[in-house]
Amino acid sequence: YANYRIGATHTDNDDQMHKNDAKVDNIYANVEGTVGRFTYGGRVFANYSRTNGYNGASLMNTLITPPNLPVYNEDGTFFLTGNSGRDGNDIHNQIWYLHNQEFRNRSVSAMGSIFGELKIFDWLKYRLTYTYSYARNNDASIVPEYDLGTTNGRQAYNSQTLTYGGSGHEVIENLLTFDKTFNDVHSLSGVLGMVSEKFDGWSTGVSGRSNEYSGFGIATRYPDNQIVTGSQYNEAYFSYLARVMYSYNSKYMITANFRADESSKFIDGNRWGYFPSFSVGWRISEEPWMKKATSNWLDNLKLRATLGWIGSANAVGRYDTQSVVEVDNRYYTFGNGQTNSAGTGTASNAPAPLIENFANPNLSWETTRDAGFGFDMDMFSNKLSVVFDYYNRKTTDMLLAVQLPRSTGNINSMYMNVGSMKNWGIELSVTYREQIGDMKLTISPNFSFYRNEVTSLGSNASLAGGNTNTANVTMTMVGHPVAQFWGYKTDGLFQTDAEAAAYVNKDGQRLQE
């Protein structure tokens, strides 16, 4: 037999804001069938979307614009605000942006997955799954010459930017599963598997400018003013995994897991990480002596404990083990004058190579040891349930961006395996269920308590992070939580103008308006 399903949707959304709209088309199909001991299936999903409109924070900028500012002048032209003298940020006329700048996006995405499963024996199955997803984006923007009368609100030319990009994600899974019971009391199950995962992507862009307005043709019609950019990436993982679970009469349970993971983020010799884990469980409520003592109120009581190791490579980028050299215009002086980033001066720009990052070939997996214990309890015909967990985790070889001395030049930090931290805490969940006539009542309060502490940073006294537009806002130090927010403590807020007027400097001048 076989089951099929196919469908399609179309969405056409005209936004309330000028020239903002979106159209989205989706199509999907599923199929699953069985032939003897073989089961097969697949699913496909595809999406095509078109959006137009200003890509800035239109709604947010509108909300923060002072309501007393007009949109138009008396002669019908747009009101241009000038500089804001309060917080250093320009106040822009958002309606002007919506009428004078154009942005559009076209994107296509698709995902397909197929599987086949063979029942070798009633207790043994092999399953192969292949999944691939693809995405393609095309962005275009055009900004005509403008002068808003503000510090940053000026552009003396017409400009256009075109960006193309695509990405792919492939996953192949091979799983052999078994589940068999012996003599009605011995249950043995498990999984043996191999997983391959690949990511790839690319992007290319071109921007151009001209004193002549020619719509979306600016970037291609004036090659002398073009800037072309591009990038490409690849990333891959490969894993072996195994799990074995044994249960005796649903009373005593043992589970053992093992993973061997390989990541392309690390160089040969450091790519593989090996991570075992174990757990045990004891359903003590099934013991005859416990049943005899608690049969009138206890339905289930299971004690459990775990110990395991897991690895992570998420903190580092794809190429942090390799030095990346970028060729760019760095405004080197050739001639009698000097030039700068604004393009002024008598010297010409010269493309030159620059090291974008320092490589650390010694990077390896960050490892976390996780230990814990807990219990599950059901009482009074399952009306009351209690779940308790205690956990204690220690992370070693942490992947952190270590600040480098300024003598290194333009490079601020480099990733290293440094330091360690620990996390510990408890979690408690209580659930009460009651049937009152036709009404079902469920009450489920939860309580949690946890702590985080950095125990080592190697040779570093502290690490700054949380970079914003102005400065780092977090600090990681030994004996404190990781990435702790770091800033000034205040004495409070001024409630009246008189309080603000009393806040003066050493010369008696008011500090707050």
Which segments of 356-445 are extended strands (E)? Answer: 366-379, 384-396, 399-403, 413-417, 420-436, 439-443
Looking at residue 341, its pLDDT comes to 46
Residues 6+ apart with CB under 8 A from 488: none
Q: Which CATH number fits domain 2-331+350-502: 1.20.144, 2.40.170, 2.60.40, 1.10.730?
A: 2.40.170
Looking at residue 339, its pLDDT comes to 46
Looking at residue 141, its pLDDT comes to 83
Smallest CA-to-CA distance from 458 within 398, 411, 368, 395 is with 398
Alpha helices by DSSP H, listed for 398-506, are 497-501
d(CA 133, CA 45): 9
Give the DSSP per-residue string, 189-238. Answer: EEEEEEEEEEEEEEEEEEEEEESS--GGGHHHH-GGG-EEEEEEEEEEEE
**Three state DSSP letters for 73-132:** CCCCCECCCCCCCCCCCCCCCHHHHHHHCEEEEEEEEEEEEEEEEEEEECCEEEEEEEEE
Smallest CA-to-CA distance from 166 within 205, 127, 128, 193 is with 205
Q: What letters, b where the CB count within 10 A reaches 16 and e where it falls short, cover 457-482? A: beebeebbbeeeeeeeebbbebeeeb
Q: How do the pLDDT tens digits run along the chain, 513 residues long?
A: 789 999 999 999 877 666 778 899 999 999 999 999 999 999 999 999 998 876 555 676 677 777 777 888 888 888 876 555 454 556 677 777 777 777 888 999 999 999 999 999 999 999 999 999 999 999 888 777 776 666 566 667 777 788 999 999 999 999 999 999 999 999 999 999 999 999 999 999 888 777 665 555 544 555 556 778 888 999 999 999 999 999 999 999 999 999 999 999 999 999 999 999 999 999 999 999 999 999 899 999 999 999 999 999 998 888 888 887 776 655 555 555 544 444 455 555 566 777 777 888 999 999 999 999 999 999 999 999 999 999 999 999 998 888 777 777 666 778 889 889 999 999 999 999 999 989 999 999 999 999 999 998 877 778 777 766 556 778 888 999 988 887 777 888 888 888 888 888 888 888 877
Domain boundaries in the chain? 2-331+350-502
d(CA 361, CA 321): 5
Smallest CA-to-CA distance from 82 within 93, 71, 94 is with 93
The end-to-end CA distance of the chain, in Å, is 78
Question: Against a cut of 0.75, is the pTM above it?
Answer: yes
Residues 301 and 331: beta-carbon distance below 8 Å? no
